[in-house]
Structure 1
Amino acid sequence: MQFTQFADFLKEGRDLLAKGPVALVFIEDDVEVDSTLRHHLDAGFKAVIAFAPDAFAMAPDVADQVHRVSFDRTRGDSHIEAINQIIPLAQNQWLYYCFNAEYLFYPFCETRNVAELLAFHAEERRSAMLSYVVDLYADDLDQFPDAVSLENALLDRTGYYALARLDPDNHNHPKERQLDFYGGLRWRYEEHIPAPRRKIDRIALFRAKEGLVLRDDHTFSDEEYNTYACPWHNNLTSAIVSFRTAKALKQNPGSTFDIETFKWHNSTPFEWHSRQLLDLGLMEPGQWF
């Protein structure tokens, strides 16, 4: 199904949001569009909706399976406005959002689909799941000047850390079960990244409900949605492996000439398997075995 305007989708696309989980993929450029959409189709989402400018082509097999919405506002925070308009139309359904050249991984994703993941998470009385955005980058920027290569992708195996998330409405005391997470390229090249954009945590999987609002720091108006675990035990978390930061650093004139390579002594090839992310502590299985 194709919608020529975002407003048409809001009016006529409600049936697509009636049964979750639904993936909302925002296409910012023409890099790895097909692989991103195929990855999330294979994950088992009931519907994958691509918000993309008309100029970006899709492979026929992908175009036949995804629902496309003409969406030219693909820069800045336009996705936040779009998601906040979608939330009221998808009451009680699980939604997920990401961008092109980003790929969702979760524990045991090779043998279990995303619907099974979220069914278990919901049984633990959770309505949102923390995701860590793990930076990927090509091993050779001369060969891959946009820093994107699926076959030659590297990630940082260490250098991740968390800080208490302070509450300005409560004398800057730490918020309960909330942390700000850092690492990857946003940490190593922080001089090129605005401070509000340096965090790598994103509540990418969440259940829509009345009055819920996504904020511009990837957190929600309901503070419980922003927690990494329930009060009783650790919960599942997921990872989104992403070329988005690497792309931006190489596209930005203020940083591209300062970066000859993203490789360092803690780089390691990405194996495209959940076990590697679990072993590196970049997501948690919680009580799901």
Structure 2
Amino acid sequence: MQGQIADSRAKHLCKGKPVPQYSSLTQFLAEGGVALAKGPVALIFVEDDVEVGTTLRHHFDCGFKDVVAFMPAAFDLPEDVSEKVHRVHYDMATDGALERAVNAVIKAAPGVWLYYCYNGEYLFYPFCETRSVGEMIAFNVEERRDTIMTFVVDLYADDLGAYPNAVSLERAHMDRSGYYALARMKPGTQWPEERQLDFFGGLRWRYEEHVSEASRKIDRVALFKAVSGLELRANHTFNMPECNTYSCEWHHNISAAIMSFRTAKALKRNPGSSFDIETFQWHNSAAFEWHSRQLLDLGLIEPGQWF
């Protein structure tokens, strides 16, 4: 396995005082100010026990100042990250769990840059092998942008017999084509929203008969500045239209990708789809190289004016 996901246990061993652990979201908001004092902060939402450690290590490697894991009390954290991660006991099985937590953190951390994803998801952005997420945000701020658009690119194991949950970092594959965008219409009208599109592709497009219409989009504004009144909605958009735009008015801006096993896991876990899928491989599958260069070459992320 290449790139940032390589096991870095020695690098992440904590030699200082362990960070606090929190029994609930309420306690975290009341007592976890140290984690939200200065960004960027990564909020990782743990739905199952698959690749929790690699997800946390990857986002530490990206340069996030703090990483907060919202996860059920029954799950264990790997020893090498347990003393660095702000762990919040949190039930992800309830409807709206992600939006409630993200919106609560937005209110508690005005002015702080936040990022959110699930376990088994990995942030990649232009030149991430040599530049930190903080450097990308700093450039984005210079362009007077408070958000960075991200696209969820599905990953899947090439051999479901060997990896029945569809997850393998060493054998991860992705679709190299089949991505498209449609105009996003203003609610109740036939007029398009300015600089907003609905993006589709990957496994949710190829297996759309098994995916609800509300869950088919792959765009997610996962990197953003918390401001007063901002709220995340269930469809991964915000209540402030400008925060949902993919670029500013005068040129293209930076975009990033979240490489995600989440859809593949769900399709294999769901009895309604699992037995219909013997393999996710097709003629446009490609091994994921765990490097931003591949995503830039495929046009899945955009450097904008950042060189």
TM-score by length of 1: 0.98
- What is aligned with 2:263? 245
Partner SS, residue 238 of structure 2: coil
- What is aligned with 2:138? 119
Partner SS, residue 121 of structure 1: helix
Structure 1 residue 187 and structure 2 residue 187: aligned?
A: no
Structure 1 residue 176 and structure 2 residue 194: aligned?
A: yes
Q: Report the AA paired with residue 175 of structure 1.
A: E
> What stretches of structure 1 of length at least 5 have no aligned partner?
none
Structure 1 residue 217 and structure 2 residue 235: aligned?
A: yes
Consecutive aligned runs of 4 or more in structure 1 exceeding 6 Å deviation: none
CA distance in 2, matches of 1:155, 1:145: 17
Asked whether the equivalents of residues 27 and 74 of structure 1 are also in contact (C-alpha less than 8 Å), the reply is no
CA distance in 1, matches of 2:165, 2:73: 22
> What stretches of structure 2 of length at least 5 have no aligned partner?
1-19
Aligned length: 288
Structure 1 residue 266 and structure 2 residue 300: aligned?
A: no
Asked whether the equivalents of residues 204 and 216 of structure 2 are also in contact (C-alpha less than 8 Å), the reply is yes
1:1-289 pair list within 5 angstroms: 1-74=20-93, 76-169=95-188, 171-289=189-307
Asked whether the equivalents of residues 155 and 267 of structure 1 are also in contact (C-alpha less than 8 Å), the reply is yes
Q: Report the AA paired with residue 246 of structure 1.
A: A
Root mean square deviation of aligned Cα: 0.8
TM-score by length of 2: 0.93
Change over 3 Å in CA distance of 1:9–1:67 after alignment to 2: same
Asked whether the equivalents of residues 52 and 69 of structure 1 are also in contact (C-alpha less than 8 Å), the reply is yes
The one-character-per-residue Cα deviations of 1:182-216 (angstroms, maximum 9, x if unpaired) are: 00000000000000100000000000010001011
Partner SS, residue 271 of structure 2: coil
Q: Report the AA paired with residue 84 of structure 1.
A: N
CA distance in 2, matches of 1:120, 1:212: 22
Q: Report the AA paired with residue 254 of structure 1.
A: G
- What is aligned with 2:16? none
CA distance in 1, matches of 2:242, 2:56: 30
* Pairwise CA distance, 1:73: 2.8
